[in-house]
């Protein structure tokens, strides 16, 4: 998802089908955090727009109030952080396992039993 701030509030509101004042309310509640220019203009990213769509879905289709939306979004954010942490840990584990495999592959010697000790089958 693209985090680059690019849409002014009027454009972002138009894209997601909301009133700009609704976006301001959501920001005041901490549900969305658009970036700001040095002059204070809000700039929304694609990720922000997805979050606004999620808020819209939760309120209009599922009937949650903003307190419920805040709770759901917080849980979703936590799940996302945990997924990212798990993926990072899996990559680290894979690297560690690969290193172990490299170590023992160098030390392995193929075993071949002495031919005189192996009984011959007739």
- Hey, where are the domains in the chain? 7-80
Domain 7-80 has CATH 1.10.1660.10: yes
- Please, which residues have CB within 8 angstroms of residue 2's CB and are 6 or more apart in sequence? 45, 46, 47
| pLDDT recorded at residue 35 | 97
| pLDDT recorded at residue 113 | 75
pLDDT exceeds cutoff 90 at 19? yes
pLDDT exceeds cutoff 80 at 115? no
pLDDT exceeds cutoff 60 at 118? no
Q: What is the pLDDT of residues 59-84, one digit of tens each?
A: 999 999 999 999 999 999 999 999 99
Q: What is the pLDDT of residues 80-112, one digit of tens each?
A: 999 999 999 999 999 999 888 877 766 777 777
Q: Please give the Cα distance from 9 to 27 (Å, whole number).
A: 11
Q: Please give the Cα distance from 84 to 72 (Å, whole number).
A: 18
What's the mean pLDDT when you consider all of the chain? Answer: 91
Nearest one of 35, 33, 32 to 4, comparing CA atoms = 35
């Amino acid at each position: 998802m693209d985090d680059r701030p690019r849409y002014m509030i009027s454009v972002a509101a138009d894209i997601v089908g909301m009133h700009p004042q609704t976006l301001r309310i959501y920001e005041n509640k901490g549900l969305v955090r658009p970036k700001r220019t040095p002059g204070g203009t809000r700039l929304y990213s694609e990720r922000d727009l997805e979050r606004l769509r999620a808020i819209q879905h939760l309120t209009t289709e599922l009937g949650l109030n903003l307190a419920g939306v805040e709770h759901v979004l917080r849980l979703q954010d936590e799940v996302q952080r945990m997924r990212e942490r798990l993926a990072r840990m899996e990559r680290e584990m894979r690297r560690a396992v690969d290193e172990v495999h490299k170590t023992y592959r160098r030390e392995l010697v193929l075993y071949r039993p002495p031919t005189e000790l192996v009984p011959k089958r007739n």
